[in-house]
Amino acid sequence: MVVVNRNGFIVFHNNEVLAIDNVFMAAVAFLASRDTGIGVGMRKTMIAIGLSAVAMATPAYADVQIGVLMPTSGFAAGFGLEEQGSIDLFMKSYSDLGPAGKLKLVIYDTRGEPAQAISLTKKLIDSDKVTAIIGPYLSGESEAAFPVANRAATPIVTPSSAKPGIAAANRPWAFRFSSTTDKTDKALIEHWTKKQSKPIKNVVLFYDGKDAVSSSDGKTVMPAALKAANVNVLDAISFQTGDVDFSAQVTRAKALNPDGIVVTALFTEAGHLVSELRKQGMTQPIAAGVELSLDHKFIEIAGKASEGVLTAAEFNRDSSKPTVVQFVKDYEAATHHLPGNSSALMYDTLSLMRHCIMSTGVVGNSEADKVKIRDCWANMNGVEAPIAGAVTINKDGDGVRQPNFLVVRDGKFVVDP
């Protein structure tokens, strides 16, 4: 249940058996609590068990413990594995905090499920006594986990969730490293319409109606961005996460003969959609909104059809920036895979978390340390992250950065100036 992995940090394979004992103990204690005498005895036993769990996780001197929530199984496991690669890489070089001892990560698998995210956030805060939490991955999970951390006065930073408003609703303890879609979408549409030789007056908007971020993008964020750029939306056509047949949607769009096509979707669905668009002979320029579509797997899925698709992103694997080149090289050497967007987001979030621990003099896992980390994130202004560059956190707790515009050329994302 507790595994010290090769880099010397502790990995819990999720709700370990001890926790289950605690549930049974809890049930017994509840039943017994009618008879107060027995109830107290039971509670003592339980506290003893709880303490032994903490004792196993906490070494002799005060290290700084950070919890990590990510999906390493279930439908979103792919994202979690990308994040895991960055964690391994980061901890190999940066687990030493100097006078504060070592950085320890307690990692749990959420399976991408909001209910699991709630339980595990509580577990990290109450059982593992972490100073801060990194995660969860999906917006739906963050929506469930943020209120828990906020009420327990523990800083929580999602590397990736992009749906607008979820950090703002959980002030002052919740943050996100990623910037929200409303900011990137607006910049993307401005850039896209400016670059076209033929003016774009009418577009068809495709969106994923099931995925939380993509659907809020497709229904409100993107239409607002298009309106601001004086572009008319002929039709907004939805599909559902997991769809593979996009023929009906594309046939419907083709009949409208738009000047351009805008897509907000996760990379898998975006890939299949773009592929079908080109297959049915629609050659109009395409802008893909949600940042997650900027994954190299998008190019793998869409193949040749991905050529010329424009998107906004924080991570460009083919960038020539030295820190990025180094990161990509190290990541590939360590994992034998190329890093994705999720890897980059996690690596930067870890770097900034370490920055906050070091720069504010966090020494352990006390309430004061939590406040220090919170204030560091809240006041972050132009702090350099290895991959994304200068990071600022706004008053809503959201990351603010100038996104890169990337376009697919010869099977690669290249910067579109």
Partner 1 sequence: MFNSYTESLAVFFGINVLMAFSVYLPSSAGLISLGQGGFMAIGAYTSALLTAKDVPFALALAAGAAVAALIGVLVAAPAVRIRGIYLIIATLGFGEIVRILFINLEFAGGASGLSGIRPLTTLWYVVGVCFFVGLCLWRLRTLTLGRAILAVHEDETAAEAMGIKLLQTKLIAFGGGAAIAGLAGGLFAHYALFIDPEQFGFSRSAEAFLFVVLGGSGNPLGPVIGAAVVTLLPEVLRFLQDWRMSFFAVLLIGCAIWRPGGLVAARPPSRL
Partner 2 sequence: MVFLQQLINGVMLGSTYALVAIGYSLIFGVLRLLHFAHGEVFMVGAFIGLGAVVYLHVGPLVALLCAAVGCALLGVVIEFVAFRPIRRRNGSLLAPIVSSLGVGLLLQEVATNLFGAEQTRFPPQFEGEMIRLGGLFVTSTQLFILGTSFVLMLAVHLFVSYTKYGMAMRASAESTDVARLLGINVDTVIVLTFAFASALGGVAGVLVGFAFSAISPFMGVSMSIKGVAIMLIGGLGSIYGAMVGGLILGVVEVMTVGYLASSYRDAFSFALLIIMLLVRPQGLFSGASAAKR
Strand order in the sheet with 383-385: 383-385, 389-393, 399-400
| Shortest separation between residue 148's beta carbon and partner 1, angstroms | 8
Binding of partner 2 at residue 275 (CB under 8 A)? yes
CB of 238 to partner 2, least distance (A): 5
**Whole-number minimum distance, CB 114 to partner 1, in Å?**
6
The whole-angstrom separation of Cα 87 and Cα 85 is: 5
Smallest separation, CB 237 to partner 1 (Å)? 15
Residue 111 CB, nearest approach to partner 2 (Å)? 11
17 binds, among partner 1, partner 2, none (CB under 5 to 8 A by kind): partner 1
Is the C-alpha dihedral spanning 11, 13, 19, 23 positive or negative?
positive
Interaction between residue 214 and partner 2 (CB under 8 A) = no
Nearer to partner 2, 17 or 244 (CB): 244
Contact footprint for partner 1 (CB under 8 A): 1, 13-17, 19-20, 22-23, 25-27, 29-30, 43, 46, 50, 73, 114-115, 118-120, 122-123, 125-127, 140, 143-144, 147, 151-152, 163, 166, 169, 209-212, 215-216, 219
* Residue number with CB closer to partner 1 (20 or 368): 20
**Shortest distance, CB of residue 307 to partner 1, whole angstroms?**
31
Q: Which of 45, 52, 230, 280 binds partner 2 (CB under 8 A)?
A: 280
- Cβ burial 149-175 (10 Å sphere, 16+ → b, else e): bbebebbbbbbbbbbbebbeebeebbb
Binding of residue 366 to partner 2 (CB under 8 A): no
Q: Check: CB of residue 273 under 8 Å from CB of residue 246.
A: yes
C-beta pairs of 161-168 under 8 Å, 24+ apart in sequence = 161/136, 161/137, 161/213, 162/213, 162/290, 162/291, 162/292, 163/139, 163/212, 163/213, 163/216, 164/216, 164/221, 164/398, 165/396, 166/139, 166/142, 167/396, 167/397, 167/398, 168/396, 168/397, 168/398
55 binds, among partner 1, partner 2, none (CB under 5 to 8 A by kind): none
Binding partner selected for residue 152 from partner 2, partner 1, none, CB under the kind-specific 5 to 8 Å limit: partner 1
Contact residue for partner 2 among 8, 242, 361, 411 (CB under 8 A)? 242
Identify which range of 40-48, 276-284, 315-323, 355-363 contacts partner 2 by CB under 8 A: 276-284
**CB of 243: closest distance to partner 2 in angstroms?**
7
Region binding partner 2 by CB under 8 A among candidate stretches 26-34, 51-59, 193-201, 244-252: 244-252
Residue number with CB closer to partner 2 (11 or 76): 76
Nearer to partner 2, 187 or 234 (CB): 234
- Contacting residue, 49, 77, 97, 358, with partner 2 by CB under 8 A: 77
Residue 244 is a binding residue for partner 2 (CB under 8 A): yes
For partner 2, the binding residues (CB under 8 A) are 73-78, 209-210, 237-240, 242-245, 247-249, 251-252, 254-255, 268, 272, 275, 279-281, 297, 301, 303-304
